[in-house]
């Protein structure tokens, strides 16, 4: 601790504390303009200068650490004079356009001038401000309003790792410029700008800050679930912000959170219930659904009814959905898209180590000494994980190993990029585990204490042939050894894996191999963690609520635990149940005649053509969604649901934190909150309560499961319920031998997440489509050369299903030779029809189109 005196008050603060921080602890206010807690200090504005006895110049409080015994003065005539004059300099040639400036009313420059009483301008100089920059997408820059605080530059570089913004030119002509190709359109530069320099074009000139009503909520685009404020005027969202000091995301947002809200007020929204293509009343629509269910049940039995739910829906909605099917309809034919990914990962984690998702809290990643990102692109799948990784390896001295077929946004910070051959994930995981053991980089005491069958693990790893690993992965032994060393020498480790792993048809085996590696490298120790990622907003909630036939809410075996539910629900639950694959087959064979799609569009499932063809065979298709699609066109009944901004409900993040969303605006048109629809159907079919109560649903979940026990949403403020980190008991880790192989060879297509889009929803948000307007094939320069296709030209790809898709190519050195990468956000492009059932990668043939 360091002792010092500020304005006559004595204090004691830890070494490294700045004078500004020490003063704030004493409630002594020092004015600042360029200081921002979450970035490194800049010392640009100079108005925080203070006097220190014995130091013959003013020192800036923001970037001067305390020193034992110093006597600091924050207020004096000389300081006031200097601060005022510096403010006058800052204001020199600042335009007098406050009335039309976007920052008017929330401008730190205005506030500081007011605070310091800067009422005159003593200086004059030629106005050499560069003109407004309007050529960048989504963001406008007005250099004349800039005070060069560099907050935008630093957030862009230090927190996002985008490094797009920089100071260009010298002297008073200097301005914030952008390497546009580096911009990820996260909007954080706009958020942190203290003046109206960085402006969101979608927001510009549309509202004054004081006209907007703020509702605290959660962004549900991805499982990061950043805390946000939704700003609404006239039942329309004008902007999304996030607060630095009170959110787990420290006010940071990504393109989805900042620019993605536009879909909520899209004029393409479904606004009225429809039956057979005609707008009808809710009474008629719901009546039709109930009647059809009863009819089909009568004619074909309840097993002819099936439903798919969605990670876009809340926990309560997913709970009500499964209850609707199991208790009211009497069918256990329910599933979700987690079947094609996240569920495989969950199974692997659950089988070996009893996990229900990530083993630890998100912020543990930010403190890890080593991070292994395996078959994941956190920047696309869960940006908050990316930010944590950057915390660990950039603001900390952690080491980063990226094992990915492609080079990703985080590769630039990686100490080791293992660009493995497609399909060699199991070999790579086993090879790394073997090297950790061989090189003496494991915590033997820990493994002996915690692993039930350590001998099996060691025996099996002993059998792993490193030559074969080198051959399969295409990586040099040296690279593997280096990565193992980085991982093994760290005291705390975070292992993160994602879509490339679990969305593969061999996803279960691959997830198991990574789980085994996580055991070996100590990722399950207290300050370490294992994190499966799924890009969808509430996949964790879908799984927690048991929206799959094998499990009831709370991961309770359907076959073993259904009595308890029967007792509470007062009904008999059906035997068996079809998963998504069986539902598809059932529709094709005619066994399943009624399908309820709740906020889910099978067009984004692998082999989507097969799904679409099957949907046509249904007797009754009910689609509950927010936008029309090829699937709503096939539906007998269309029920307009609501977005996250229009309803109340809880969502569970990737680290199993439960957060609540609240209605920031009324649902558009006739649309209804999805929970209300389910509750009413449940009530109608079972004769019970038809009104949705979040409290009642949460209480039911709490009474029937061991989960969500501490969930309690009482205030309108942000309210989160963090799950405690997983603790490893003795002999509780079980090594599960891996079987299964991935045999795709030759030129391949990999389908995965995008850095700009989130599911299909964001394709209805105009700002995001301005950044990424269509599906593209990312192709290596070599493959592009072989196919004689140039950047921007079209390529036809034919997959194993026999389907073909034509799209533009983007030649990218980030993709290796032999692999083409595509996302599947634009359902109209039909990328997923190239994929085989339940897979994310396919052998392809290409030709110039």
Partner 1 sequence: MSKVAFSSWGREVVDNRQGGDAEVPIVKKKLPVTFDGQKEIAALMGWDGLILNDPGVDVVAMAAEYARRVQEDFCCAKCSPGKKGTRVMQDTMDRIVAGKGQEGDLETIEQIAELLQNCKCTLCPSSAVPIVDTVKHFREDYLAYIKGTPRKSAKVDYKVKLTAPCQDKCPAHIDIPAYIEAIKERQFGEALEVIRESMPLPAVCGRVCPHPCESACRRANVDNPVNIMVLKRTASDYEWQHNHQPSMLPKPRKNKKIAIVGAGPAGLTAAYYLALEGYPCTIYESLPEGFGGGMIAVGIPAYRMPRHILQRDIDIICSLGVEIIYDTHVGKDISLVELKEKFAAVLLAPGAHKSKPMGVEGEKEGYQGSLAGGIEFLRDAYMGKPTGMGKKVCVVGGGNTAIDCVRVALREGADDAILLYRRTRKEMPADSWEIDGAEEEGVQFEFLILPKKIVVDEQRRVTGVECVRMELGEPDDSGRRRPQPIEGSEFVVECDTLIPAIGQDPELSFITDDTGIGITKWNTVVTKYVPLKNAEGRDLNDTMGNPLSRILITDMDGVFASGDAEIGPLTVVACVGNAHRAAKVIQRWLEEGEAYLTDEDFHEDILTNLGVYDKNEEVPWLAAVDRFHQAEIHGRERASKGNYNEVELGYTDTVAVQEAERCLRCYRVSMIAIQ
Binding site for partner 1 (CB under 8 A): 40, 42-47, 49, 52, 55-60, 63-67, 70, 82, 85-86, 89-90, 92, 123-126, 128, 147-148, 150, 154, 157-158, 163, 167, 169-174, 394-397, 412-417
Nearer to partner 1, 479 or 588 (CB): 479
Nearer to partner 1, 40 or 246 (CB): 40
Token output for 752: 């995965």
Token output for 682: 């449940």
Element housing 108 (H / E): helix 108-116
Strands of 658-661's sheet, edge to edge? 649-652, 658-661, 720-721
Nearer to partner 1, 54 or 99 (CB): 54
Non-local CB neighbours of 485 within 8 Å, separated by 6+ positions: 439, 441
Q: Please report how close the Cβ of residue 399 comes to partner 1 at its closest, in angstroms.
A: 9
Element housing 482 (H / E): helix 477-488
Q: Please report how close the Cβ of residue 46 comes to partner 1 at its closest, in angstroms.
A: 5
* Sign of the alpha-carbon dihedral angle for 100, 140, 216, 32: negative
> Which residue in this structure is represented by tokens 């009497």?
330
Q: Please report how close the Cβ of residue 689 comes to partner 1 at its closest, in angstroms.
A: 57
Instruction: Report the C-alpha dihedral over residues 709, 714, 715, 720, rounded to 10 degrees.
Output: 10
Measure the CA–CA gap between 779 and 792, rounded to whole angstroms.
11
CB 248 within 8 A of CB 655: no
Nearer to partner 1, 250 or 841 (CB): 250
Measure the CA–CA gap between 609 and 602, rounded to whole angstroms.
9
Nearer to partner 1, 71 or 836 (CB): 71
Q: Please report how close the Cβ of residue 252 comes to partner 1 at its closest, in angstroms.
A: 17
Q: Please report how close the Cβ of residue 491 comes to partner 1 at its closest, in angstroms.
A: 14
**146, 148, 189, 391, 686 from 158: Cα distances, Å:** 20, 17, 12, 9, 55
Nearest to 404 by CA among 838, 815, 834, 818: 815
Nearer to partner 1, 75 or 173 (CB): 173
Q: Please report how close the Cβ of residue 30 comes to partner 1 at its closest, in angstroms.
A: 14
Nearer to partner 1, 412 or 568 (CB): 412
Q: Please report how close the Cβ of residue 52 comes to partner 1 at its closest, in angstroms.
A: 6
Alpha-helical (H) ranges within 687-812 are 694-704, 766-771, 781-786
Nearer to partner 1, 73 or 279 (CB): 73
Q: What share of the chain is helix, strand, coil (3-state, %, to 5)?
A: 35, 20, 45
Q: Tell how far CA 785 is from the center of its chain.
A: 35
Q: Please report how close the Cβ of residue 197 comes to partner 1 at its closest, in angstroms.
A: 14
Q: Tell how far CA 433 is from the center of its chain.
A: 29
Q: Please report how close the Cβ of residue 157 comes to partner 1 at its closest, in angstroms.
A: 7
Q: Please report how close the Cβ of residue 54 comes to partner 1 at its closest, in angstroms.
A: 9
Nearer to partner 1, 37 or 567 (CB): 37
Nearest to 219 by CA among 263, 182, 189, 183: 263
Token output for 662: 């609240």
Nearer to partner 1, 32 or 671 (CB): 32
Nearer to partner 1, 63 or 770 (CB): 63
Non-local CB neighbours of 838 within 8 Å, separated by 6+ positions: 339, 340, 505, 581, 606, 607
Q: Which residues pair with 18 in a beta bridge?
A: 65
Q: Please report how close the Cβ of residue 366 comes to partner 1 at its closest, in angstroms.
A: 13
The Cβ-side half-sphere exposure at 522, using a 13 Å CA radius, reads 26
């Amino acid at each position: 601790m360091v002792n010092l005196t500020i304005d006559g008050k004595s204090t004691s603060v830890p070494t490294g504390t700045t004078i500004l921080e020490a003063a704030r602890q004493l409630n002594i206010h020092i004015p600042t303009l360029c200081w921002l807690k979450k970035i490194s200090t800049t010392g640009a504005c100079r108005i925080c200068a203070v006097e220190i006895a014995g130091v013959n110049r003013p020192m800036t409080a923001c970037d001067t650490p305390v020193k034992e015994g110093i006597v600091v003065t924050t207020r004096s005539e000389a300081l006031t004079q200097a601060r005022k004059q510096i403010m006058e300099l800052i204001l020199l040639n600042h335009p007098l356009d406050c009335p039309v400036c976007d920052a008017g009313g929330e401008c730190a420059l205005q506030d500081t001038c007011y605070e310091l009483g800067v009422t005159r301008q003593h200086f004059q100089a030629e106005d050499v401000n560069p003109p407004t920059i309007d050529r960048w997408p989504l963001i406008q820059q007005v250099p004349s309003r800039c005070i060069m605080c560099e907050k935008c530059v630093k957030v862009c570089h230090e927190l996002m790792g985008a490094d797009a913004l920089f100071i260009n030119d010298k002297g008073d002509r200097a301005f914030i410029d952008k390497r546009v190709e580096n911009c990820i359109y996260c909007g954080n530069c706009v958020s942190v700008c203290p003046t109206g320099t960085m402006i969101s074009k979608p927001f510009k000139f549309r509202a004054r800050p004081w006209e907007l009503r703020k509702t605290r909520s959660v962004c549900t685009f991805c499982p990061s679930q950043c805390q946000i404020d939704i700003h609404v005027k006239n039942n329309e969202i004008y902007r999304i912000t996030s607060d630095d000091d009170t959110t787990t995301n420290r006010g940071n947002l990504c393109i989805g959170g900042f620019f993605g809200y536009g879909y909520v007020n899209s004029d393409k929204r479904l606004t009225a219930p429809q039956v057979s293509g005609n707008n009808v009343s809710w009474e008629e629509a719901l009546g039709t659904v109930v009647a059809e269910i009863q009819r089909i049940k009568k004619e074909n039995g309840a097993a002819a009814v099936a439903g798919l739910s969605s990670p876009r829906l809340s926990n309560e909605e997913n709970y009500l959905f499964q209850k609707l099917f199991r208790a009211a309809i009497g069918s256990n034919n329910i599933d979700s898209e987690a079947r094609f990914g996240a569920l495989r990962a969950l199974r692997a984690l659950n089988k070996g180590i009893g996990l229900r998702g990530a083993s630890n809290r998100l912020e543990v990643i930010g403190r890890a000494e080593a991070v292994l990102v395996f078959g994941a692109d956190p920047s696309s799948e869960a940006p908050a994980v990316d930010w944590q990784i950057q915390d660990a390896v950039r603001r900390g001295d952690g080491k980063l190993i990226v094992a990915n077929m492609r080079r990703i946004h985080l590769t630039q910070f990686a100490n080791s990029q293992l660009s493995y051959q497609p399909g060699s994930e199991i070999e790579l995981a086993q090879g790394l585990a073997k090297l950790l053991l061989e090189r003496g980089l494991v915590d033997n005491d820990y493994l002996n204490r915690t692993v039930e069958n350590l001998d099996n693990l060691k025996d099996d790893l002993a059998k792993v042939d490193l030559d074969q690993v080198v051959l399969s992965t295409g990586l040099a032994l040296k690279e593997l050894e280096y990565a193992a060393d980085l991982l093994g020498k760290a005291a705390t480790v975070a292992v993160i894996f994602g879509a490339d792993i679990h969305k593969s048809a061999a996803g279960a085996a691959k997830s198991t191999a990574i789980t085994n590696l996580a055991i070996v490298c100590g990722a399950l120790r207290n300050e370490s963690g294992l994190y499966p990622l799924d890009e969808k907003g509430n996949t964790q909630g879908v799984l927690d609520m048991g929206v799959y036939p094998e499990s009831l809410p709370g991961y309770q075996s359907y076959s073993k635990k259904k009595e308890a539910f029967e007792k509470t629900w007062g009904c008999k639950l059906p035997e068996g149940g079809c998963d998504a694959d069986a539902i598809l087959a059932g529709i094709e064979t005619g066994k399943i005649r009624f399908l309820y799609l709740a906020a889910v569009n099978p067009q984004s499932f692998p082999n989507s053509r097969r799904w679409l063809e099957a949907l046509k065979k249904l007797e009754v298709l009910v689609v509950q969604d927010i936008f029309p699609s090829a699937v709503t066109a096939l539906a007998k009944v269309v029920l307009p649901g609501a977005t996250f901004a229009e309803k109340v409900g809880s969502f569970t993040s990737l680290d199993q934190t439960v957060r609540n969303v609240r209605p920031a605006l009324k649902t558009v048109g006739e649309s209804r909150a999805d929970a209300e629809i389910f509750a009413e159907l449940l009530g109608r079919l079972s004769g019970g309560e038809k009104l949705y109560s979040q409290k009642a649903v949460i209480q039911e979940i709490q009474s029937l499961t061991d989960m969500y026990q501490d969930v309690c949403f009482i205030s309108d403020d942000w309210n989160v319920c963090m799950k405690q980190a997983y603790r490893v008991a003795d002999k509780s880790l079980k090594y599960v031998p891996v079987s299964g192989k991935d045999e795709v060879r030759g030129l391949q297509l990999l389908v995965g997440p995008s850095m700009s889009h989130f599911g299909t929803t964001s394709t209805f948000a105009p700002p995001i489509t301005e950044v990424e307007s269509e599906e593209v094939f990312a192709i290596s320069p070599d493959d592009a050369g072989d196919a004689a296709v140039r950047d921007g030209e079209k390529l036809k790809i034919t997959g194993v299903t026999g389907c073909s898709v034509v799209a533009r190519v983007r030649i990218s050195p980030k993709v290796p030779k032999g692999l083409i990468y595509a996302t599947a956000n634009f359902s109209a492009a039909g990328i997923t029809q190239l994929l085989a059932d339940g897979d994310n990668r396919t052998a392809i043939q290409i030709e110039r189109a």
